[in-house]
Structure 1
Amino acid sequence: MSTTEQARPVAPMTTRQVASRRRRASAAKLWREFRASASGMSGLIFLGVVILLAILAPVIADRSMLDVTQLTDQPRFAPPSWEHPMGTDHQGRELWVRMIWGARTSLLVGVAATAMSMIIGTLVGMAAGHFTGVAGGVIMRFVDFFLVLPSLVLAIVLSSVLSRGVLTIVIAIGVTSWAATARLVRAQTLAVEARPYVERSQVLGAGHWHIIGKHLFPAVLPLVLANTTLTVGSAIIAESTLAFLGLGDPTQQSWGTILKDSMDVSAATSGYWWYVVIPGLAIVLVVLAFTLVGRTFEAIVNPTLRSR
């Protein structure tokens, strides 16, 4: 371009483009801070490996390896060895095959139940914090009612009443575990409601949906995401508990079902330690990994924890 030519004027960015750029910058900053945490990254890498194994389960181990009618030559209760890396169960099935296929169900139930719990808790919490007067009081009494109920007992009742299956466990866990999230979101909503820009929106005539969608939800979303990673671990434990109690789908492999099978054959007292230790250790490690990721993410998005 010659010096006599004038440079073309740069078009100013729209409000949406500015907001998109800020979101990308915030996400990049969050990722940089997350990578600086050794515990968070170790938990994330471990979860990535487990999720990858669960996704590739049909490729790694064909489902026919779970068919007991095709395992007539397999030894029962074989201890871990080079030939049987994690040992075999009471029907001669390789335990590592059951663990990989069980990871699919356990992770699916944990994530789906947590998603349902987060959606219900976020909507109810924002409504309880935004609407004042009688409406807010009624919503909070509804939340308190679910808080005092023992969630595990209620989940057992729902799983017993409804037909057995993965969807039933997801509903039972999701419907009974949202109250704590609702109280957390309500507290954050009340803090956001007191900020000047929300008051200005109300003075300018903004409606409830505009304030909730444009101001409250973006403000509480980081806290909800941090709480989500912490809740997934609890959901996995709840799924394992329900399956261990015999309320899961017996046709689906899960870590809780493996523990129930080990209890039915008295593996703990019969010396078949691998039948109990391996699924139990898998649950502990996955829950620990989710907790490490959640705590790291929470420390990043929460200024109080970050300053500590």
Structure 2
Amino acid sequence: MTRPPRDSGYPAERLTPRALAWERRKRAVADFWRVYARNRAGVVGLAGLLLFVLLALAAPLLVEPEGLSVTGAPGGAYEPPSAEYPLGTDNFGRSVLDLVIWGARISLTVGFLATFMSVTLGTLVGILAGHFGGWSSAVLMRVTDWFLVLPALVMAVALAAVMSRSTLTIIIAIGVTAWPTTARLVRAQTIAVEARPYIERARALGGGHRHVMKRHVLPNVLPVVLAQTTLLVAESIIMESTLAFLGLGDPGTISWGGVLQDARNAGAVSSGVWWYMIPPGLAIALVALSFTLCGRAIEGVLNPRLRERQ
């Protein structure tokens, strides 16, 4: 006697293919979150990340533009933390808390945009190299190796020094130097996907290169790309802060690295003005840690072997 089909919660025969695909996506997201929520470190990292994003979005509502001006700041220079200024003031009398909140906008924006640029370039190179193979793959991988062996920070400094000092320059400098790792990972995943039987069936049914890469390869490498993205955002934010600290950022914008550079130039280290240096550095460390925890948790969800070890 055959077993009746299990109730799926919705009449599948009444759903259109698009609605059925949407239901499957919702269930996949629900399953993903259920497994992700078991990782306490990942939940803590996600909470910290949401806090920083909310602060960045609410910065125009929390910070008065006049308080960021070097000429119109209401406070006195180097005032220690108090009820009026929880993190003290800088050498211009600006609230360090306001600088940290406002600086989150630039630092997170650069981190996200530079990561998007880097991941897009790395994914494109990795899929093309893994799919076509042959001499084209060899050329792409040699270029990738060349970028990989060179220190990314040194290359970013060189690009930022040659181009004009702006936020866009920082994004480009980070984006064109941080993609080789993603390209290597995506190429390896693409080769593994191309060896599966349904790829041969797709080609036998007339699927061209574009169809195979778009419909079969790309959806299977996206989990790797997602995990790599969360890790690259943290790296991009640290690199942006480093470039700004070295004086290669836009002097007209406020970022965490720029605040640290201003503190160094103002002699806060020798003067013992710790409240001017610690908050932006701590913000950089916390947001990088949050992204890293999220990335490790996502990697554990997408990789069953890592999930078993947890």
TM-score range, shorter chain: over 0.9
Query: 2:219 aligns to what SS in structure 1?
Result: helix
> If the length of structure 2 is used for normalisation, what is the TM-score?
0.93
Distance 2:299 2:66 in 1: 42
Q: Are residue 267 (structure 1) and residue 291 (structure 2) matched?
A: no
* Matched residue type, 1:190: I
Partner residue, 2:3: none
Q: Where does structure 2 lack aligned partners over 5 or more consecutive residues? A: 1-10
* Deviation (angstroms), 1:10: 7.8
> If the length of structure 1 is used for normalisation, what is the TM-score?
0.94
Q: Are residue 242 (structure 1) and residue 243 (structure 2) matched?
A: yes
Partner residue, 2:298: 297
Q: Are residue 65 (structure 1) and residue 67 (structure 2) matched?
A: yes
Partner residue, 1:5: none
Partner residue, 1:50: 52
Distance 1:307 1:10 in 2: 33
Greater shift in the superposed pair: 119-128 or 29-38: 29-38
* Deviation (angstroms), 1:42: 1.0
* Deviation (angstroms), 1:304: 2.0
Distance 1:80 1:179 in 2: 44
Q: Where does structure 1 lack aligned partners over 5 or more consecutive residues? A: 1-8
* Deviation (angstroms), 1:255: 0.2
Partner residue, 1:110: 111
Distance 1:14 1:70 in 2: 62
Per-residue CA deviation, residues 105-157 of structure 1 (Å, 9 max, x unaligned), is: 00000000000001000010011111121111111111111111211111111
Distance 1:14 1:206 in 2: 24
* Matched residue type, 1:160: A
Partner residue, 1:163: 164
Q: Which of residues 25, 28, 49 is equivalent to 1:26?
A: 28
2:12–2:20 contact (8 Å) kept in structure 1:
no
* Matched residue type, 1:25: R
Distance 1:130 1:21 in 2: 31
Distance 2:227 2:25 in 1: 17
Query: 2:71 aligns to what SS in structure 1?
Result: helix
Query: 2:176 aligns to what SS in structure 1?
Result: helix
Query: 2:253 aligns to what SS in structure 1?
Result: coil
Distance 2:16 2:127 in 1: 29
Partner residue, 1:82: 83
Distance 2:259 2:43 in 1: 29
Query: 1:213 aligns to what SS in structure 2?
Result: helix
Q: Are residue 37 (structure 1) and residue 3 (structure 2) matched?
A: no
Partner residue, 1:211: 212
Distance 1:104 1:28 in 2: 30
Distance 2:38 2:277 in 1: 36
Distance 1:135 1:220 in 2: 20
* Matched residue type, 2:222: L
Greater shift in the superposed pair: 35-44 or 180-189: 35-44
Partner residue, 2:277: 276
2:260–2:281 contact (8 Å) kept in structure 1:
yes
Distance 2:218 2:68 in 1: 45
Partner residue, 2:180: 179
Distance 1:176 1:136 in 2: 19
* Deviation (angstroms), 1:32: 1.2
Superposition pairs for residues 91-240 of structure 1, below 5 Å? 91-240=92-241
2:161–2:248 contact (8 Å) kept in structure 1:
yes
* Matched residue type, 1:37: N
Distance 1:18 1:218 in 2: 18
* Deviation (angstroms), 1:15: 4.1
* Deviation (angstroms), 1:266: 2.1
Distance 2:306 2:190 in 1: 19
Distance 2:275 2:220 in 1: 47
* Matched residue type, 2:236: A
* Deviation (angstroms), 1:234: 0.3
Per-residue CA deviation, residues 218-260 of structure 1 (Å, 9 max, x unaligned), is: 0001110111111100000000000000000011000000000
2:244–2:250 contact (8 Å) kept in structure 1:
yes
Partner residue, 1:3: none
* Deviation (angstroms), 1:167: 0.7
Query: 1:78 aligns to what SS in structure 2?
Result: coil
Query: Kindly, what percent of the aligned residue pairs are identical?
Result: 53
2:301–2:307 contact (8 Å) kept in structure 1:
yes
